Structure 1
Amino acid sequence: MDHKSTMRGAGEEETVAWRYFRRDVVPFAAMVTVECTMIGSYTLYKAAALRGLNFYVFVTYSYVVSTLLLLPICLIFGRSKRLPAAKSLLFFKIFLLGLLGFMAQLSGSVGIKYTSPTLASALSNLTPAFTFTLAVIFRMEQVVLRSYATQAKIIGAILSISGALVVLLYKGPKVLAAAFFTPSSHTISLHQNLTSSEPSWIIGGLLLASKYFFLSVWYIVQTRVMEVYPEEITVVFFYNLFATLISVPVCFFAESNLTSWVLKPDISLAAIIYSGLFVTSLSAVTHTWGLHLKGPVYISLFRPLSIAIAVAMGAIFLGDALHLGSVIGSVILCFGFYTVMWGKAREDATKTGAGSEHSPLLLTHIAEDEALSLR
């Protein structure tokens, strides 16, 4: 009897450890990897843009590559459930995801061309503030002003927006120069022209902020889609397909010079393939899986990590210098980010203890066990 109890106890411990590994360790490692992948794409695209890659060409080809890559994967692994009817509301929502994704991708590409991957990473911390604000506007989030959790989220949103304004409006002196990397003279000249102009820096920053606003809406819509149809690969394939169908006519109309669409085997082609393979395909699948498993706020939790990665990659591969305004603004952004996260964690813990429903920003978090059972 004791032996059986011991074996049962060991089995239960192994089960708990395995569930913890799948539910916490794997998503954590996946999100860190995605952040590294995203910053790698920013850096590679910036280097290609400095050498003449058009952002319309980049966005269109990236979606084409990702759609072609996901097609066989979707046919093989994405057919566990029947597809919804073409006229259903679900397909409209996925089309909306494609439109939002295209707008975010285009805004981000133009923004990075005019600024830097470091600024893109810093402004990505606006995502939780935007998500919270949108949730309040659409009455998905309850606002109780007497609650410490609500106060923390409001203060965090204000700090995040304030930090973004500091990054955009105050560049300041250099605090870290990339002396150990010296790009070619052509790259230095072009890079200085693009980053020394304050209007271009501000416009680029506003476009990057727009990207993360669109992404916040994307996260909320994607969460709704996954509630109804929890098939990550299929959803991401149709998202990329719709984004491709949108981007091809729009970008061809915007960039009518056919020579811009002719690619050579250089860094431009590498940037497109990398983006299509690792960002719009694998990263999108990982994000969708993470949204289904953990919810939209958990995905946003890893944004501050990207700043350090972007600073290192920008210094090594682009010769970027770090300015005081970026440091101060990033610190304020991170404070605002984690204030929102603290408020969300406190609210979630309080509601769990009271036995009530979780916040709509964590719509999928309460279904972790159900999501795990689908794996």
Structure 2
Amino acid sequence: MKEYTFYIAMVVVQLAYGGSNILIKISLDKGLSQLVFVVYRHLIAMLLLGPFAYVLERKQRPSLSFSIITKIFVLSSLGTTIHLNVYYAGLAYTSPTVASALSNVSPSLTFIIALLLRMEKVKIASMRSQAKVLGTVICICGSLVFTFWKGGHLLKGFVEKPLINIHAGSVGDFKHSKQNWIKGSALILISHIAWSGWLILQAVVTKVYPARLSLTTMICFFAALQSCLLALFFDRKPTSWKLEWDVNLLTIVYSGVVLSALVYYLQTWCISNKGPVFAAMFSPLLLIFVGIFSAIAFAERLHFGSLIGAFLIVAGLYFVLWGKRADNNFVVGQSDQIGKHQSDDSKVLEISPRMSQC
């Protein structure tokens, strides 16, 4: 039964992300400041996680040094401040479905960065390495097709009229020009480069600071602080900080409670038990969920070229994931063989003294 809870948790994670993409898109178009949104979102998460981190990790929380604080500060800069603010800037120019499709390039980008940093090894003669390289190339080609080929006929939508009309104009047309489409997609790709760097740096930080709840709380604190400074510099309007009982407040509370608190914890729990490859395998579900939500809520219709690009991204993703899973199985197999040889050697050493005594 416990095995199924990991699958349920990751489906819930993707559903939560799908709902947030719709809400955030609506709020950004309603005038919500993305910098202020990031501040409020992480303040809520910090206030929620802080007491649990203090009580539950009191004994296992290591002492903080300047080096660890610096690493956590950089970690929050990459994974929250840079990633989220650039991502939301790109989301303002595109649709939630586009943003969700491009999120599938993260495993390939992570593989490239790890390869450049020599954290990942490639043996061309190995089928595992060939799958990772081929998947990375296919994924990048798919993202380029999705970004630049806004062609082909429009696919038929699920509904004739949108349930939520936040754009003036014809049904299903988000009124994004080709220039804005490219600009938004480029910003989202840049945000996922920062996210990939965050994934790699997180593996380094968790080794020196294994208290996950405390780590997440500090990341939220630094993210709120950094975005607050950016908001005071780039968005000096006092009205941007004003909250009312509207969809913007709903988006802030939802993102703070569900995404920055609950989803972060579920992802950490699943990765610590099943590994990052298991968690990454569920990322294409986000594209499916958001596509369905957008088709119903906004009557969104995608171009045929976008569909081809999305298919290439998902296909490339699973090539990379298969290669990574094969790598993990290979490492586990080698460890088992080494353990078996050591066990056999110990048995031989036990028998030898007895024979000498005889």
Q: Shorter chain as normaliser: what TM range?
A: 0.7 to 0.9
Conserved in 2, the CA contact under 8 Å of 1:195 and 1:201?
A: no
Residue of structure 2 equivalent to 1:350: 330
Counterpart CA distance in 2 for 1:25 and 1:45 is 30
Q: Aligned to 1:127, which of 100, 106, 109?
A: 106
Counterpart CA distance in 2 for 1:272 and 1:214 is 23
Residues 1:150 and 2:150 are matched in the alignment: no
Name structure 2 gaps, 5 residues minimum: 338-358
Q: Aligned to 1:140, which of 115, 119, 132?
A: 119
Residue of structure 1 equivalent to 2:274: 294
Cα 1:150–1:195, aligned 2, differ >3 Å: closer, same or farther? farther
Conserved in 1, the CA contact under 8 Å of 2:61 and 2:211?
A: no
Residues 1:242 and 2:229 are matched in the alignment: no
List per-residue Cα deviations over 1:271-291 (Å, max 9, x = no partner): 111111111121112222233
User: Residues 37-186 of structure 1 correspond to what in structure 2 (within 5 A)?
Assistant: 37-87=16-66, 89-100=67-78, 101-172=80-151, 173-183=153-163
1:137 positional shift: 0.8
Cα 1:193–1:253, aligned 2, differ >3 Å: closer, same or farther? farther
Counterpart CA distance in 2 for 1:244 and 1:184 is 30
Conserved in 2, the CA contact under 8 Å of 1:176 and 1:323?
A: no
Query: Could you tell me which amino acid in structure 1 is paired with residue 18 of structure 2?
Result: I
> Deviating runs (4+, > 6 A) in structure 1?
190-193
List per-residue Cα deviations over 1:318-342 (Å, max 9, x = no partner): 3322221221111000110011111
User: Residues 198-213 of structure 1 correspond to what in structure 2 (within 5 A)?
Assistant: 198-213=178-193
Residue of structure 1 equivalent to 2:314: 334
Query: Could you tell me which amino acid in structure 2 is paired with residue 141 of structure 1?
Result: E
Cα 1:78–1:180, aligned 2, differ >3 Å: closer, same or farther? farther
Residue of structure 2 equivalent to 1:311: 291
Name structure 1 gaps, 5 residues minimum: 1-20, 358-375
Moved more, 233-242 or 171-180: 171-180
Query: Could you tell me which amino acid in structure 2 is paired with residue 349 of structure 1?
Result: N
1:223 positional shift: 2.1
Query: Could you tell me which amino acid in structure 2 is paired with residue 304 of structure 1?
Result: P
List per-residue Cα deviations over 1:233-288 (Å, max 9, x = no partner): 11110110111111111122111111122121100111111111111121112222
Counterpart CA distance in 2 for 1:145 and 1:185 is 51
1:38 positional shift: 0.7
Query: Could you tell me which amino acid in structure 1 is paired with residue 73 of structure 2?
Result: F
Backbone CA RMSD of aligned residues: 2.2
Conserved in 1, the CA contact under 8 Å of 2:165 and 2:298?
A: no
Counterpart CA distance in 1 for 2:171 and 2:36 is 20
Moved more, 199-208 or 345-354: 345-354
Counterpart CA distance in 2 for 1:186 and 1:97 is 35
Conserved in 1, the CA contact under 8 Å of 2:97 and 2:287?
A: yes
Cα 1:350–1:191, aligned 2, differ >3 Å: closer, same or farther? same
| Secondary structure, aligned partner of 2:155 | strand
Residue of structure 1 equivalent to 2:206: 226
| Secondary structure, aligned partner of 1:42 | helix
Query: Could you tell me which amino acid in structure 1 is paired with residue 68 of structure 2?
Result: L
Larger CA Rg, structure 1 vs 2? 2
Counterpart CA distance in 2 for 1:244 and 1:154 is 37
List per-residue Cα deviations over 1:87-113 (Å, max 9, x = no partner): 2x3222221221112111111111111
1:347 positional shift: 2.3
Cα 1:178–1:59, aligned 2, differ >3 Å: closer, same or farther? farther
Counterpart CA distance in 1 for 2:259 and 2:164 is 28
Cα 1:186–1:102, aligned 2, differ >3 Å: closer, same or farther? closer
| Secondary structure, aligned partner of 1:145 | coil
Cα 1:318–1:164, aligned 2, differ >3 Å: closer, same or farther? same
Counterpart CA distance in 2 for 1:274 and 1:65 is 10
TM-score (norm: length of structure 2): 0.87
Query: Could you tell me which amino acid in structure 2 is paired with residue 91 of structure 1?
Result: I
Counterpart CA distance in 2 for 1:62 and 1:185 is 25
Residues 1:214 and 2:197 are matched in the alignment: no
Query: Could you tell me which amino acid in structure 1 is paired with residue 269 of structure 2?
Result: W
Count of residues in Structure 1 that have an aligned counterpart in Structure 2: 335
List per-residue Cα deviations over 1:105-127 (Å, max 9, x = no partner): 11111111111111111111111
Cα 1:325–1:349, aligned 2, differ >3 Å: closer, same or farther? same
1:85 positional shift: 2.3
Percentage of pairs with the same residue? 33
Cα 1:228–1:108, aligned 2, differ >3 Å: closer, same or farther? same
Query: Could you tell me which amino acid in structure 2 is paired with residue 325 of structure 1?
Result: G
Residue of structure 1 equivalent to 2:241: 261
Query: Could you tell me which amino acid in structure 2 is paired with residue 351 of structure 1?
Result: V
TM-score (norm: length of structure 1): 0.83
List per-residue Cα deviations over 1:297-349 (Å, max 9, x = no partner): 33222111111101111122233222212211110001100111111222222
1:296 positional shift: 2.8
| Secondary structure, aligned partner of 1:168 | helix
